[in-house]
Amino acid sequence: MRWYLIFGIILSLASCQKANNDWVEFGMGESEEIFISSLFSSIETIVLETTDQSIIGEISSIKYSDDRIFILDKRRTNSVFIFDSKGEFISKIEGGWTGPGFLNYPDNIEIIDEKLFVYDPRQNKVLSYSFEGEFKDERYLKTNNIYSLDMIAWKDSLVFFDFYSNPELLFELKVENGDILFKKPFGSKEYKIISGRRLPYLSKTYENDIRVQVPGTDCIYQFNGSETKTTCFDLDASNLFEPGTLVNFFDFYSELQRREAYALRGEMVDLKQKTIMSIQKGNSLILSIWDRISNVCKPVRLINDSETFLPYIETLPTYNVIQGEITLHFFPGDLKIFYSGTAKEKSLDQFFKKSEIDFSDNPIIFRLKE
Tens of pLDDT along 313-324?
988 887 766 789
Q: Which CATH class is domain 24-369?
A: mainly beta
- Which of 45-49, 117-121, 282-286 bottoms out in mean pLDDT, i.e. has the lowest? 282-286
pLDDT at 16 over 60: no
> 320 vs 29, which has greater pLDDT?
29
Name the phi and psi angles at 346, rounded to 5: -65, -45
Amino acid 238: pLDDT? 75
pLDDT at 195 over 50: yes
Rounded-to-10 torsion of CA 302, 308, 309, 314 = -10
Amino acid type, 119? Y
Amino acid 320: pLDDT? 67
Each residue's pLDDT tens digit, 233-286: 999 777 889 988 889 989 998 999 999 999 998 899 999 999 999 999 998 999
CA-wise closest residue to 171 among 105, 228, 120: 228
Q: What percent of the chain has pLDDT over 90?
A: 75
pLDDT at 4 over 80: no
Report the predicted TM-score, pTM, of the whole model to 2 decimal places: 0.89
Reduced to 3 states (helix: H, G, I; strand: E, B; else coil), residue 7 is: helix
pLDDT at 117 over 90: yes
Amino acid type, 43? I
Amino acid 262: pLDDT? 92
Amino acid 14: pLDDT? 39
